């Protein structure tokens, strides 16, 4: 019962947009509203069950947690009630008036304003509590937070505002009454509701009961007393504790969506129990798509930790290392004490041992998949390889194993390659693994520094993930072969292999001419370059920049600069291509008197061109434009 202290409040603008869509939704699978409510109710029970173990101020009214669905056919209402943690006034306003974390925020981010497209998004995201407005004209939420004296009521018809006031409620928990829309009366039917619960919520670990009053008369023409009695409609046991053979793919999938707050399908699952020294059960999933929080700076682990079926924590537990943070699911330990607090989980030896064993199992599982079902593993790698590679520098113990597991794109291999595959294909005289980092694959493929390698059939790995620069910094090796960036240091590729296409071997400036030219260029460019040298790294492009032997790799330097870790970019080596027509012309004229003045503009343009190829800003774009025009003018004259 609300009283005089009822207050009217507006929804946050995004919520209003969302609700408007819900109210007017023509989405065909409206039944998901029940899944969302049950999922929230189950989380609320989990939270309280944990809370009473660790927080003395929290008390539960009874030992049995549960979710009750009650239908009043005459009044056209469905009530979903739980005896979980409940919400106080502030919680109600925050949770049911703004965009709460998880799913809903992602949904709103992707809303386009185009009703048709947005409706399709409901299927992809589910939209939590707000989905009730697809089936209800008005909704009353009455809630009492465990340990609180007062109960509160939230009422809304989903149009712009809600009312909040005090209420009477004896027991802790939340009760949601939905006044069902005319066109949604199918949801008042017992059969339909039962079906929805078993389809979407069978895995929920607390009992869900269903009671129908005012429904169809029984065979004797009397009120159906049987239907009025709450009967349990779900399995009600923790899904991970059931034998695998009893669980259908659909049930696994629904559980994944519930436990991972996910909306895609799991790409892979791992379900097993361990007995003996340690006892625990694991049900983990690899998502198909990157979860929204994958690159949050906290890099939080989202696997839920249970102790003897009791939910303990779903954040920050050290159950899995940061580089496996995309995994979703449950680990249920028999060995930890029930009243373990979240703080106690950090550096806990039982957790550490379990974490090591589970991590090992996951890697072994990936290894098996990679040989038995390469396309499946590669799809997972495509999505999460960028995260798994963090383990190469974070998890020293597993570096070797992770390097072996890693997949890369390369200049010669189709699709993904392993490092072992690369080493096998290496040229006889080749001693290093060549790579280029810094941008997405398609851009890397166009790097001028690649030209000489491609011409000689020397394979180069194309590493497009930001993390690559970091693990490569640790200068690991693979089977005794070091990793060498093709944008750093001098490399005489002819020592490894000759250009494959001899016919393509073009005229080249003589060594003497090149010495004169590089000396001249160094004089013109001064400290803007650390060196100028002839290179066989290039075939089609006139020039490119590389880092010096001792310098930081260029991609790494760019990352540091972007993070303000570096004041000034260091001067690079300008490499020039003796077979390129422009360089040949410059080389011919470099020995003439007055060459330094005559060729100065062209030399500067070479440097600027190399910078543009790298995507680096020009020091002086006005000067670039001026030189470009004057050189063009001379050329066109």
Binding-site ranges for ligand ADP (CB under 6 A): 36, 40-41, 44, 82, 84-87, 95, 100-104, 128-130, 174, 261
Q: How far is the CB of 105 from ligand ADP (least distance, A)?
A: 9
Distance from C-alpha of 176 to C-alpha of 154, rounded to nearest angstrom: 9
Q: Which residues, in sequence order, are CB contacts of 299 under 8 Å at separation 6+?
A: 322, 325
Distance from C-alpha of 230 to C-alpha of 32, rounded to nearest angstrom: 22
Residue 232 phi, psi (nearest 5) = -75, 130
* Residue placing its CB nearer to ligand ADP in the complex, 86 or 578: 86
Distance from C-alpha of 355 to C-alpha of 317, rounded to nearest angstrom: 10
* Residue placing its CB nearer to ligand ADP in the complex, 135 or 602: 135
**Helix-strand-coil split of the chain, %, nearest 5:** 45, 20, 40
Q: How far is the CB of 159 from ligand ADP (least distance, A)?
A: 18
* Residue placing its CB nearer to ligand ADP in the complex, 153 or 579: 153
Comparing C-alpha atoms, which of 127, 157, 152 is closest to residue 141? 152
* Residue placing its CB nearer to ligand ADP in the complex, 193 or 583: 193
Q: How far is the CB of 83 from ligand ADP (least distance, A)?
A: 10
* Residue placing its CB nearer to ligand ADP in the complex, 104 or 234: 104
Q: Which residues, in sequence order, are CB contacts of 296 under 8 Å at separation 6+?
A: none
Q: Give the β-pairing of 572-576 and 77-82.
A: unpaired
Encoded tokens for 337: 């004490």
* Residue placing its CB nearer to ligand ADP in the complex, 41 or 444: 41
* Residue placing its CB nearer to ligand ADP in the complex, 53 or 79: 79
Q: How far is the CB of 440 from ligand ADP (least distance, A)?
A: 32
Burial tier of 323 (Cβ tally within 10 Å: 0-12, 13-18, 19+): buried
Q: How far is the CB of 393 from ligand ADP (least distance, A)?
A: 34
Q: How far is the CB of 27 from ligand ADP (least distance, A)?
A: 16
Q: What is the DSSP string of 307-328?
A: ETTEEEESSS-TTS-GGGTT-E
* Residue placing its CB nearer to ligand ADP in the complex, 102 or 508: 102
Q: How far is the CB of 625 from ligand ADP (least distance, A)?
A: 53
Comparing C-alpha atoms, which of 569, 573, 609, 602 is closest to residue 588? 602
For residue 340, the Cα-to-chain-centroid distance in whole angstroms is 30
Q: How far is the CB of 187 from ligand ADP (least distance, A)?
A: 18
Region of residue 269 (phi > 0: left; psi between -120 and 50: alpha; otherwise: beta): beta
First-to-last CA distance in the chain? 91
* Residue placing its CB nearer to ligand ADP in the complex, 86 or 287: 86
Q: How far is the CB of 36 from ligand ADP (least distance, A)?
A: 6
Q: How far is the CB of 466 from ligand ADP (least distance, A)?
A: 29
The residue with tokens 């299927």 is 123
* Residue placing its CB nearer to ligand ADP in the complex, 83 or 491: 83
Q: Give the three-state DSSP class for 414.
A: coil
Q: How far is the CB of 236 from ligand ADP (least distance, A)?
A: 18
Do residues 151 and 164 lie in contact, with contact meaning Cβ atoms separated by under 8 Å? no
Do residues 231 and 210 lie in contact, with contact meaning Cβ atoms separated by under 8 Å? yes
* Residue placing its CB nearer to ligand ADP in the complex, 54 or 102: 102
Q: How far is the CB of 291 from ligand ADP (least distance, A)?
A: 13
* Residue placing its CB nearer to ligand ADP in the complex, 44 or 403: 44
Do residues 105 and 121 lie in contact, with contact meaning Cβ atoms separated by under 8 Å? no
- Within 10 angstroms of residue 447's Cβ, the number of other Cβ atoms is 23
Residue 265 phi, psi (nearest 5) = -105, 150
- Within 10 angstroms of residue 329's Cβ, the number of other Cβ atoms is 23
Encoded tokens for 453: 């390698």
Comparing C-alpha atoms, which of 280, 341, 303, 346 is closest to residue 50? 341
H-helix segments, 456-568:
466-473, 511-525, 554-562
For residue 436, the number of C-alpha atoms closer than 13 Å in the C-beta half-sphere is 25
Q: How far is the CB of 95 from ligand ADP (least distance, A)?
A: 3
* Residue placing its CB nearer to ligand ADP in the complex, 39 or 484: 39
Comparing C-alpha atoms, which of 393, 423, 442 is closest to residue 556? 393
Exposure string over 361-378, b if 16+ CB within 10 A, otherwise e: ebbebbeebbeeeeeebb
Q: How far is the CB of 67 from ligand ADP (least distance, A)?
A: 9
**Residue least distant from ligand ADP (Cβ):** 128
Q: Give the three-state DSSP class for 254.
A: helix
* Residue placing its CB nearer to ligand ADP in the complex, 58 or 472: 58
* Residue placing its CB nearer to ligand ADP in the complex, 145 or 268: 145
Q: How far is the CB of 174 from ligand ADP (least distance, A)?
A: 4
Q: Which residues, in sequence order, are CB contacts of 586 under 8 Å at separation 6+?
A: 517, 599, 602, 603
């Amino acid at each position: 019962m609300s009283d005089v202290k009822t207050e009217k409040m507006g929804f946050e603008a995004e919520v209003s947009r969302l609700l408007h869509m819900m109210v007017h939704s023509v989405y065909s699978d409206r039944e998901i509203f029940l899944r969302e409510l049950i999922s929230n109710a189950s989380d609320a029970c989990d939270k309280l069950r944990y809370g009473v173990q660790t927080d003395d101020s929290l008390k539960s009214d009874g030992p049995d947690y549960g979710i009750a669905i009650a239908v009043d056919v005459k009044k056209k209402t469905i009530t979903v009630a739980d005896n979980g943690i409940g919400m106080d006034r502030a919680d109600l306003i925050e949770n049911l008036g703004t965009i709460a974390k998880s799913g809903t925020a992602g949904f709103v981010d992707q809303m386009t304003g185009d009703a048709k497209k947005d409706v399709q998004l409901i299927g992809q995201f589910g939209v939590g509590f707000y989905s009730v407005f697809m089936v209800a004209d008005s909704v009353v939420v009455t809630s009492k937070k465990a340990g609180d004296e007062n109960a509160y009521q939230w009422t809304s018809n989903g149009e712009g505002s809600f009312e909040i006031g005090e209420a009477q409620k004896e027991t802790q928990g939340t009760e949601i009454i939905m006044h069902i829309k005319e066109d949604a009366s199918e949801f008042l039917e017992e059969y339909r509701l039962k079906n929805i619960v078993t389809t979407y919520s069978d895995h929920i670990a607390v009992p869900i009961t269903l009671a129908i009053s005012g429904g169809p008369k029984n065979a004797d023409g009397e009120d159906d007393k049987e239907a009025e009695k709450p009967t349990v409609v779900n399995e009600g046991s923790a899904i991970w504790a059931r034998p695998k053979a009893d669980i259908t793919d659909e049930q696994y999938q629904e559980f994944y969506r519930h436990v991972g707050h996910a909306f895609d399908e799991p790409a892979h699952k791992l379900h097993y129990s361990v007995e003996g020294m340690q006892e625990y059960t694991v049900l983990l999933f690899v998502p198909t798509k990157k979860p929204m929080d994958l690159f949050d700076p906290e890099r939080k682990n989202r696997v839920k930790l249970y102790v003897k079926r009791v939910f303990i924590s779903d954040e920050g537990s050290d159950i899995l290392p940061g580089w496996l943070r995309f995994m979703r699911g449950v680990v249920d330990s028999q060995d930890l004490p029930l009243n373990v607090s979240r703080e106690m989980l950090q550096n806990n030896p039982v957790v550490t041992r379990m974490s090591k064993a589970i991590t090992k199992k996951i890697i072994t599982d990936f290894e098996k998949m990679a040989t038995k079902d390469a396309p499946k593993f590669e799809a997972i790698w495509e999505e999460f390889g960028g995260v798994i590679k963090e383990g190469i520098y974070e998890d020293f113990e597993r570096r070797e194993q992770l390097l072996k597991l890693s997949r890369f794109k390369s200049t010669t291999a189709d699709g993904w390659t392993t490092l072992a595959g690369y080493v096998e294909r290496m040229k006889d005289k080749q001693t290093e693994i060549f790579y280029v980092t810094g941008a997405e694959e398609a851009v890397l493929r166009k790097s001028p520094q690649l030209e000489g390698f491609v011409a000689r059939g020397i394979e180069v790995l194309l590493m497009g993930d930001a993390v690559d620069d970091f693990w490569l910094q640790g200068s690991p090796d693979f089977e005794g072969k070091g990793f060498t960036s093709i944008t750093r240091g001098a490399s005489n590729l002819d020592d490894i292999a000759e250009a494959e296409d001899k016919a393509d071997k073009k005229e080249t400036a003589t060594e003497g001419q090149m010495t004169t030219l590089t000396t001249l260029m160094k004089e013109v460019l001064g400290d803007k370059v650390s060196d100028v040298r002839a290179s066989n790294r290039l075939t089609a492009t006139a020039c490119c920049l590389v880092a010096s032997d001792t310098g930081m790799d260029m991609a790494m330097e760019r990352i540091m600069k972007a993070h303000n870790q570096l004041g000034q970019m260091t001067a690079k080596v300008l490499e020039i291509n003796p077979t390129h027509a422009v360089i040949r012309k410059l080389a011919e004229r470099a020995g003439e008197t007055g060459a330094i003045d005559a060729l100065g503009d062209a030399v500067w343009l070479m440097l600027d061109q190399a910078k543009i190829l790298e995507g680096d800003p020009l020091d002086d774009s006005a000067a670039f434009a001026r030189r470009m025009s004057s050189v063009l003018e001379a050329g066109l004259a």
